[in-house]
Amino acid sequence: MEQCCAFPGARHPRVVAPPAGRLIGAAPGPLDTARRTPVKAVSSNNVARILVVGGGYVGMYTALHLQRKLKQQLREGSIEVIVVDPDPYMTYQPFLPEAAAGSISPRHVVVPLRRVLPQCTVVVGEVTDINHDERRATIATLAAEETGDGAIEVVYDELVLAPGSVSRTLPVPGLADFGIGFKTVEEAIGLRNHVLGQLDIASSTRDPAVRDAALTFVFVGGGYAGVEALAELEDMARYAVRYYHNIKPEDMKWILVEATGRILPEVGPDMGRYAVRELRGRNIDVRLETRLDSCEKRVAQLSDGSRFPTRTLVWTAGVKPHPILAASDLPLTDHGRLKCNATLRVDGVEHAWSAGDAAAVPDLTAEPPAKPDEPRPVCAPNAQHALRQSKVLAENVAATVCGGTVQDYRHKYVGSVASLGLHKGVAHVYGRKLRGYPAWLMHRAYHLGRVPTFNRKARILAEWTLAGLFKREIVSLGSLENPRAEFELAAGTGRHNEAS
């Protein structure tokens, strides 16, 4: 690693020129002293550094709460909060299906971290290693990648580790080659363009096999992401085909493959069954207790023996904890999540905290296990817990840094809402079950209330209102993914872009 003296753009650069590597707040220096003494005792000329890894639900909300709670200390420079994320924005994932359907613009489902966290230092980069024993994290930044400068190291006093989860893939032949994920805004918009692109292919080919494969859409996984993405995209495609002279809605095959006997477990069994009926009523082929065995050569082979040539295979069959957790020296559960206690502190480790998808936090509202040696149930990985945990997490980190008592996280899951396309949905909230239009309205109202910043709320509301007045957008902008193609062609160096 190469030598460097300051973090580009750091609000309170307190960097001690390191012997090697880009080291921020490196030893010997004020931070290092702070690390060895109780953080509460940090003197006025020292700065307590809180490193937040991940700027998603937990990371962004924790930093937001810290920013409010520690306003004065941040202003006078006695505390510093650094937020690291590979993207300069937080993605409001529950709105990805609506973004894929074109009901919300992509830039409105993301929240710019620099805008909402002006008192924090936002670093666009990926934490690649955490040595908590030495309170040191390694960050690979874009600049480091381009210039080959090497990674940056940050030393910290308190660590909030919230990198969330990644798609859980299985060794299904062909999956790595043809599968499409649905966790990021890029994937959501890419999928929208891809689906609309398939309609164009189907409409323009004379080959029935190509047409059939283009009009077959297979989604694997019946959780939030899979069901909402399929339902929204089917709804959008059904609308779009009215503008194609040679495609009818019944020409399309939409298939949902789910390994268990139910979908949307979050809304409970009754509403899950309703969702299956609703989707089947729209001619969507919902296959329960079925697995994807292979998708080699773009043919989806299912465990019930059926085969579907398809150009669209969306994989949303669950998530697993982010691999960075395993690269740290912190304790993990058998499932790879960080072992946390109810205060959201990493179990048995001082100054390390976590929440959200990455953390196994005991659910204090769940029935205790029947046998004393059985583990306590942990909070499910969802936005509801992530959001509420981040508030407690910020309180507890602030209490640790400034002096105060930490509190336990306790929240009874209140249920869930899910959209099944425009004007269709299911909800099971506070024991009340809703379906159809009221559930869809509740889904929109709930998420509009939750999406961060007034600015975003207003823009999304305006988009929804305008969408109610005008026709839906059905244009595919797949070429956006390859913006130089036209110029390369003109310059004689490019190739014709193959339809994906």
Ligand X SMILES: Cc1cc2nc3c(=O)[nH]c(=O)nc-3n(C[C@H](O)[C@H](O)[C@H](O)COP(=O)(O)OP(=O)(O)OC[C@H]3O[C@@H](n4cnc5c(N)ncnc54)[C@H](O)[C@@H]3O)c2cc1C
Binding stretches for ligand X (CB under 6 A): 53-59, 84-87, 93-94, 96, 126-127, 162-164, 182-183, 224-225, 322, 324, 356-358, 381-384, 386
CB of residue 419 vs ligand X: minimum separation in angstroms? 8
CB of residue 385 vs ligand X: minimum separation in angstroms? 7
CB of residue 247 vs ligand X: minimum separation in angstroms? 27
Q: Using alpha carbons, select from 111, 53, 42 the residue that is nearest to residue 452.
A: 111
Nearer to ligand X, 13 or 452 (CB): 452
Question: Which structure tokens are listed for 63?
Answer: 């930093």
Q: Using alpha carbons, select from 397, 392, 383, 398 the residue that is nearest to residue 410.
A: 392
Show the DSSP H helices in 70-133 as ranges.
71-76, 96-101, 113-116
Nearer to ligand X, 172 or 188 (CB): 188
Nearer to ligand X, 56 or 222 (CB): 56
Nearer to ligand X, 202 or 352 (CB): 352
CB of residue 133 vs ligand X: minimum separation in angstroms? 19
CB of residue 487 vs ligand X: minimum separation in angstroms? 31
State the burial class of residue 232 (Cβ atoms within 10 Å of its Cβ: 0-12, 13-18, 19+).
buried
Question: Which structure tokens are listed for 1?
Answer: 């690693």
Show the DSSP H helices in 172-302 as ranges.
175-178, 185-204, 208-214, 224-240, 268-281
State the burial class of residue 262 (Cβ atoms within 10 Å of its Cβ: 0-12, 13-18, 19+).
middle
DSSP string for residues in 336-395 = SSEEB-TTSBBTT-TTEEE-GGGEE-B-TTSPPPSSTTSPPPB--SSHHHHHHHHHHHHH
User: Which residues neighbour 212 within 8 Å (Cβ) at sequence distance 6 or greater?
Assistant: 309
Q: Which residue is nearest to ligand X (CB)?
A: 56
On whether the CB atoms of residues 191 and 285 are closer than 8 A, the answer is no
CB of residue 145 vs ligand X: minimum separation in angstroms? 14
CB of residue 217 vs ligand X: minimum separation in angstroms? 16
Whole-angstrom distance, CA of residue 79 vs CA of residue 25: 13
Nearer to ligand X, 123 or 218 (CB): 123
CB of residue 183 vs ligand X: minimum separation in angstroms? 4
CB of residue 500 vs ligand X: minimum separation in angstroms? 21
Angle formed by the axes of helices 185-204 and 224-240, nearest 10° = 40
Report the helix count and the strand count for the chain, using DSSP H and E: 15, 25
Nearer to ligand X, 88 or 331 (CB): 88
Amino acid at site 320: K
Nearer to ligand X, 25 or 59 (CB): 59
Nearer to ligand X, 205 or 333 (CB): 333
Tell me the backbone φ, ψ of residue 157, rounded to 5 degrees. -100, -45
| Residue 116: CB atoms within 10 Å | 21
Whole-angstrom distance, CA of residue 254 vs CA of residue 457: 32
CB of residue 87 vs ligand X: minimum separation in angstroms? 5
Nearer to ligand X, 86 or 377 (CB): 86
Nearer to ligand X, 358 or 442 (CB): 358
The alpha-carbon radius of gyration of the chain (Å, integer) is: 24
Nearer to ligand X, 244 or 464 (CB): 464
Whole-angstrom distance, CA of residue 59 vs CA of residue 120: 12
CB of residue 71 vs ligand X: minimum separation in angstroms? 23
Whole-angstrom distance, CA of residue 71 vs CA of residue 418: 36
